[in-house]
Amino acid sequence: MIDPDYPNIVLAFVYRDFEIKIARDRWQGEDFFTAWADYSLGSAVAVPYAMTTKLAIRNAKRWVDRRMRI
Contacts 24+ apart (CB under 8 A), 35-44: 35/59, 35/60, 35/63, 36/7, 37/63, 37/64
User: Residue 1 — very low, low, confident or very high, per pLDDT cuts 50/70/90?
Assistant: low
Q: pTM here?
A: 0.85
The tens digit of pLDDT for each residue in 26-45 reads 989 999 999 999 999 999 99
Q: How many CB atoms lie within 10 A of CB 34?
A: 19
Burial of 59: CB neighbours in 10 Å, binned 0-12, 13-18, 19+: middle
Q: What whole-number distance in Å separates Cα of residue 53 and Cα of residue 34?
A: 8
